């Protein structure tokens, strides 16, 4: 089995997995779009061997299928960056909610003493 056939099978399998996770509500639609896009791009690139060889030639890569792994690695970096941004926003929201909850509890305890 060639690396191209393997990447096509992997991309289709991955696409089916992502769609199944969305269907079972294990993965939110907003995050699934990135994974679906990645799978589709990987299938297109895998099906077009001359395109991969053209890119490899432009970058001076001797083994053209290595470009597929480069695309995958770059995509992983993009996902990690995106998830880091999401975690940062969620951390700020949790901090703010914790502070607001503390203020509300303090107000309730003060009002309880005055009654």
Q: Please, which pLDDT band fits residue 115 given cuts at 50, 70 and 90?
A: low
pLDDT digits (tens, 9 = 90+) for 90-106: 999 999 999 999 999 99
Q: For the chain, what percentages of helix, strand and coil (3-state, to nearest 5) are there?
A: 85, 0, 15
Residue 62 gets which letter from DSSP?
S
Ranges of each domain in the chain: 3-114
Supply the pLDDT for residue 57: 93
CA distances for 23 relative to 7, 31, 69, 76, angstroms: 24, 13, 28, 23
């Amino acid at each position: 089995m060639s690396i191209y056939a393997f990447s096509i099978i992997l991309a289709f399998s991955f696409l089916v997995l992502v769609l199944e996770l969305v269907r079972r509500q294990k993965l939110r639609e907003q995050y699934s779009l990135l994974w679906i896009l990645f799978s589709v791009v990987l299938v297109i690139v895998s099906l077009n061997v001359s395109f991969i060889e053209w890119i490899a030639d432009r970058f001076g890569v001797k083994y053209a299928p290595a470009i597929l792994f480069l695309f995958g690695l770059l995509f992983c970096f993009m996902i990690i960056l995106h998830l880091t941004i999401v975690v940062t926003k969620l951390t700020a929201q949790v901090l703010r909610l914790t502070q607001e909850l503390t203020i509300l509890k303090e107000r309730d305890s003060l009002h309880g003493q005055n009654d």
